Structure 1
Amino acid sequence: MLIVGGAYTGLSTALGLASRGVTPMLVERRETTATLPKAWGLNARTHELLSTVPGVAAALQEAQVGSYLPQIKSGPSVREAQAAEAPEELLARHRMLTPAPPCWLPQATVEKILRAQAEELGADLRFGTEMVSWTQDADGVTAVLREGSGGREYPVRADYLVAADGYTSPIRTSLGIGVTGGGRIGHVYVITFDADLDAYVDKDRFSVTGIPGSGMSMIYDGMGTYTLWVDYFPEQGQSDDDFTEDRCRDRIRRAVGDPGLECRIRNARPFALNHQLAERFLAGRVILAGDAAHACPPVGGQGGNLAIQDGYDLAWRLALVLGGQAGAALLDTYQTERRPVVTITLDREVALQEVAEGRILSSFDQTQPVPTPREILGFRYHSPAVRTEAGDDRSLQEDPENPTGRPGCRAPHVRLERDGRTLSTHDLFGPGFVLLTDAEGTGWAEAAAEVARHLGITLTAHRIGDRLHDVEGGWRRRYGIEPAGAVLVRPDAVIAWRSRTAAAGPEHELERALKAILAR
């Protein structure tokens, strides 16, 4: 299994595979993971998925310091900016929908965590190594790798190639896969700097300060790094010459509101705001993921989250196919499910990145809404890996605050208690399939054990109402079943199938559903 690209997409794919006993090889031409902040924050869906991999949730929590809530400020300068009231109501709604706490770590920190956990689980990560050529045939991919600049070259053979090689994706280009979308819809200049701003920011809290009318906004990561985003218009003749070190310092001082501020520029670079969607995500033994498959502006912060979600969604499918527990057609469902949901997200991100008469609004203008957990968690998938019920409306979204439990939806978060400890239904999910039933569903639990043995898969049954106590008494309602019913949840916490009531032949019903889902 060969992965090209060592950022969010490649690392999450490698992590997901290694956690399931598959040893992937990842190659990345850079010598290390990101050293600059880049993107910030993991949304609830991403955090839930990563939390199914042992050690990741704890590492993310340990890395995050201070308050989990970001501070949003606005004013004529950082010095004069006023903080909005703490969104306690939003946080309360967040807790109702997901067990995952808000996470505002910068991409550089998250990548280090993903890399460390993947390597600990046995992934073969080769930074400073480039893929220089590749070919595919019906049975796999042959690639030639090169160590460093002018280093030794050697061939490798892999069953599949994951193209996690970014927005320009040489792999996608060589396959002749076209893209749709607006292309490059704008630019910003990103200036990362060091300064003593303790008088103006809470040094233990992630914060975003918008400066209306200035074309600038500042992000502080809660760990000592400041980044200034500046609207940038190369189509109007602006260039790197407009962002010399002295001019960058001047912009920082104007943004902060302190003309005598001492600051050190760590990095200044242009950043393109892209919008594109690959016409397909699969081509034989090659699979596109992350920015190679789709790219969106950073306003709502969903580009990096989509990349990690792609990696996770690929990993559980690839592990089952490579292990012989699923047919190759299961990989087709990655494209079938992800592309419509990604399209919705991209359209929203582009709408947020308001472009009018060549002028881009500041990327973190407070007047622009940002995606909420409701939108992020309310997706629906449709494919052969979801056993859609008769009469289903085939909708692509639903309200996660009022879940239906229909196949294709994310499994709802329900508070449970076991042996005096509070947990979530999501704490029951992991690398394999999970069957949820109630105290009356003994037949389903017994069937799950037999089906797991027959099919050679990981399938764990949990009876809510036995050792697991339904704290709020509504889990059956939220999953749309009656007493003695059952719900099958995939490794990506998506409901794959359900039986609303008891079945005369639970083993037969469950095995039939799983064979269809696994393309067997």
Structure 2
Amino acid sequence: MSSKQQHTPVLVVGAGLAGLSVALFLAQHEVPSLVVERHRGMSPHPRARGINPRAMELMRSAGIESRVRATASARALAENSGVYAGQSLTGHQMGALHEAYFMDVKTDLSSLSPTGWCLCHQDEFEPVIHERAQELGADFLYGTELVSFKQEDEERGITAVLRDRDSGETRTVHADYLVAADGPTSALRTQLGIGFDGPGTTGNFLNVHFEADLAEELGERRFIMMYTFNDTVRGALMPLDNARRWLLHVTFDPTAQDPASFTDERCQELVRAAAGVPELAVKVLGAKPWEAAGRSASAYRSGRVFLIGDAAHVMPPSGAFGSNTGVQDAHNLAWKLAMVLRGEAGPGLLDSYDAERRPIGASIVEQAVLRSKDRPRLADKEPAPANPDIVADTAIWFGGQYRSGAVLAGPQEPALPDGVWNPAPGGAPGTRAPHVALERQGQPLSTLDLFSRSMVLLTGPEAENWAAAGQAAAQRLGITLGVVRIGSPEGPSDPSGQWPGTFGVTARGAVLVRPDGVVAWRAPAGHETPDAVLAHALAAVLSR
């Protein structure tokens, strides 16, 4: 490794799911990045596997939804749904958990999204993102650790020293910005003095990754998870291919049990008890302890350093929110860094990252903790009373409400609801743009497919003045602005006629949407001075 100084616009520390995602989304915007990871390769452990619909929308926007769904685990588990409980896989079956405690992956979301859930193991999901990020120009250094970094003045950025863990050689890298994606024990967060607080530990678990032929015992059942309760093991069985590959989650007390005490022989005993097959041949592939906890960073930014993923928040697995929230952090940050680096936005735009993602992240941590404490009931028993503090999954996926300088109330805009969740966003500024089914040249298209690399102005065929104002404002500000006239001869068609009402405007209105698919501003109808109004809105949103 050369000791010469090199430059990268963005240095990313950590190549987990969040770090890989920010490299991918930056590369989409043609912004190079260098990702360094202290481990010598990607983790072979399956870990998380539930990719929620909003995260899949982002994979769709990056052009890799089909690649993710083509992975072995996604294909094998495409028909799996439901969470069950039993004495063991072969023992007395207690029933399915009441639907109030999980959103089944088979739920029809076609009215809300062009995509849906995907069950894909993280050890297969991460390589897909890595491959696409590399194709688009991201660079990766595995087996490399950050030794030190120093924030220079506003003009000089960050100087970092990296070390190859095998050779011991170092190199100095200059970056305009640094992204901390170095996990729940983030050394960068600690060095910056950023607090990390919350309810704390909610449980300790051990993941046993194993191979065993349980196809006959599983039979025709295709569940996501089965909780097992017997005298030997209290845990959860998760099929990885509905045949030979499995995960077993078991609870343990780290104050009384050393993780090293879970030898292959001990793990085999636990697996046999969970399966209910005393003589089962078991090959243990790995045993990994982990802590379920709820914590949030007190800041997501310090100067030119930004926290994403587990470095910014950790949460129990209840609801499958953790890794998906990190992917959305990365998506929110990437377009802002890109526009600032290109000179299309002022540095003030970056302030909106903390303002938008930190309240959302803290609230999702709270939701995950609430769900982890809410005792599940079986479907054939008395339903559990609704917990008024638990927010619907669809609201968490699609109903986040941002408040920042990158969101501007348009003319005659109604007051936004209190809190970070808007269960009926309806195209309000600060919320994800709604999905409406459109057509282009006879092919289906979602409104969400119109957003990814630039600001976009949506208008209807009767809003020529807004379309012209958009083109004039973009030229005046020197930015790229997509202008899409839905229903016009050159634009996509709206067969259902729903897009204006769904977005809260009339046929003469306009909606300004950010590259992350979030509504920045809207005008419900025409305006006497559209050029001035739209130029002001763009300048305000982009901190110009």
Same fold (TM over 0.5): yes
Pairwise CA distance, 1:409? 1.0
Q: 1:14-29, aligned counterparts within 5 Å?
A: 14-29=23-38
Pairwise CA distance, 1:391? 4.9
Alignment correspondent of 1:407: 429
Q: Return the match for 2:484 from 440, 462, 472.
A: 462
Letter of the structure 1 residue corresponding to residue 162 of structure 2: L
Task: Determine if contact 1:380/1:395 at 8 Å carries over to the other structure.
Answer: no
Alignment correspondent of 1:57: 65
Query: Which segment drifts farther, 68-77 or 428-437?
Result: 68-77
Alignment correspondent of 1:430: 452
Q: Distance between the aligned counterparts of 2:206 and 2:257, measured in 1?
A: 11
Alignment correspondent of 2:415: 392
Q: Return the match for 1:34 from 35, 43, 60.
A: 43
Alignment correspondent of 1:140: 157
Alignment correspondent of 1:177: 194
Q: Return the match for 2:525 from 488, 496, 501.
A: 501
Alignment correspondent of 1:79: 90
Number of residue pairs aligned between Structure 1 and Structure 2: 511
Pairwise CA distance, 1:385? 0.2
490 and 140 in structure 1: CA distance in 2 versus 1, 3 angstrom threshold: same
1:266 is the counterpart of 2:298 = no
1:444 is the counterpart of 2:466 = yes
Letter of the structure 2 residue corresponding to residue 373 of structure 1: T
Alignment correspondent of 2:57: 48
Pairwise CA distance, 1:113? 0.6
Q: Distance between the aligned counterparts of 2:421 and 2:185, measured in 1?
A: 33
Letter of the structure 2 residue corresponding to residue 260 of structure 1: E
Letter of the structure 2 residue corresponding to residue 118 of structure 1: A
Alignment correspondent of 2:314: 295
Alignment correspondent of 1:378: 399
394 and 382 in structure 1: CA distance in 2 versus 1, 3 angstrom threshold: farther
Instruction: State the Cα deviation string for residues 437-483 of structure 1 (Å, max 9, x = none).
Output: 11111222222223223323222122222242323332211111112
289 and 262 in structure 1: CA distance in 2 versus 1, 3 angstrom threshold: same
Q: Distance between the aligned counterparts of 1:406 and 1:77, measured in 2?
A: 48
Pairwise CA distance, 1:85? 11
Unmatched tracts of structure 2, length 5 or more: 1-9, 378-382
Letter of the structure 2 residue corresponding to residue 381 of structure 1: Y
Q: Return the match for 2:538 from 489, 498, 514.
A: 514
Alignment correspondent of 1:68: 78
Alignment correspondent of 1:161: 178
215 and 149 in structure 1: CA distance in 2 versus 1, 3 angstrom threshold: same
1:417 is the counterpart of 2:439 = yes
Pairwise CA distance, 1:422? 1.7
Task: Determine if contact 1:487/1:495 at 8 Å carries over to the other structure.
Answer: yes
Q: 1:99-498, aligned counterparts within 5 Å?
A: 99-138=114-153, 139-201=156-218, 207-212=224-229, 215-222=234-241, 225-235=245-255, 237-240=256-259, 242-354=261-373, 372-389=393-410, 391-397=414-420, 400=423, 402-466=424-488, 467-498=491-522
Pairwise CA distance, 1:399? 5.4
Task: Determine if contact 2:359/2:420 at 8 Å carries over to the other structure.
Answer: no
Name the SS for the 1:471 alignment partner: coil
519 and 469 in structure 1: CA distance in 2 versus 1, 3 angstrom threshold: same
Q: Distance between the aligned counterparts of 2:402 and 2:362, measured in 1?
A: 13
Q: Distance between the aligned counterparts of 2:55 and 2:247, measured in 1?
A: 24
Q: What RMSD, in angstroms, separates the aligned Cα atoms of the two structures?
A: 2.7
460 and 203 in structure 1: CA distance in 2 versus 1, 3 angstrom threshold: farther
Name the SS for the 1:94 alignment partner: coil
Q: Distance between the aligned counterparts of 1:83 and 1:436, measured in 2?
A: 49
Q: Distance between the aligned counterparts of 2:458 and 2:33, measured in 1?
A: 31
Task: Determine if contact 1:29/1:127 at 8 Å carries over to the other structure.
Answer: yes
Pairwise CA distance, 1:381? 0.4
371 and 239 in structure 1: CA distance in 2 versus 1, 3 angstrom threshold: farther
Task: Determine if contact 1:206/1:221 at 8 Å carries over to the other structure.
Answer: no
Query: Which segment drifts farther, 241-250 or 369-378?
Result: 369-378
Name the SS for the 2:465 alignment partner: helix
Q: Distance between the aligned counterparts of 1:149 and 1:456, measured in 2?
A: 47
Task: Determine if contact 1:186/1:272 at 8 Å carries over to the other structure.
Answer: yes
Name the SS for the 2:21 alignment partner: helix
Pairwise CA distance, 1:299? 1.9
Pairwise CA distance, 1:2? 0.7
Query: Which segment drifts farther, 145-154 or 194-203?
Result: 194-203
473 and 391 in structure 1: CA distance in 2 versus 1, 3 angstrom threshold: closer
203 and 41 in structure 1: CA distance in 2 versus 1, 3 angstrom threshold: farther
Pairwise CA distance, 1:242? 4.4
Instruction: State the Cα deviation string for residues 2-23 of structure 1 (Å, max 9, x = none).
Output: 1100011111111111111111
Q: Distance between the aligned counterparts of 2:477 and 2:80, measured in 1?
A: 46
Letter of the structure 2 residue corresponding to residue 335 of structure 1: D
Query: Which segment drifts farther, 373-382 or 103-112?
Result: 373-382
Letter of the structure 2 residue corresponding to residue 142 of structure 1: T
Name the SS for the 1:470 alignment partner: coil
Q: Distance between the aligned counterparts of 2:542 and 2:223, measured in 1?
A: 42
Query: Which segment drifts farther, 205-214 or 31-40?
Result: 205-214
Unmatched tracts of structure 1, length 5 or more: none
Q: Distance between the aligned counterparts of 1:159 and 1:89, measured in 2?
A: 43
The normalised TM-score by structure 1 is 0.92
Letter of the structure 1 residue corresponding to residue 514 of structure 2: R
Name the SS for the 1:97 alignment partner: coil
Letter of the structure 2 residue corresponding to residue 96 of structure 1: S
Task: Determine if contact 1:406/1:479 at 8 Å carries over to the other structure.
Answer: yes
Task: Determine if contact 1:5/1:166 at 8 Å carries over to the other structure.
Answer: yes
Instruction: State the Cα deviation string for residues 115-167 of structure 1 (Å, max 9, x = none).
Output: 00000001111111111111111231111111123421111111111111111
Pairwise CA distance, 1:416? 1.3
Task: Determine if contact 2:52/2:116 at 8 Å carries over to the other structure.
Answer: no
Alignment correspondent of 2:380: none
Task: Determine if contact 1:43/1:373 at 8 Å carries over to the other structure.
Answer: no
Task: Determine if contact 2:81/2:104 at 8 Å carries over to the other structure.
Answer: no
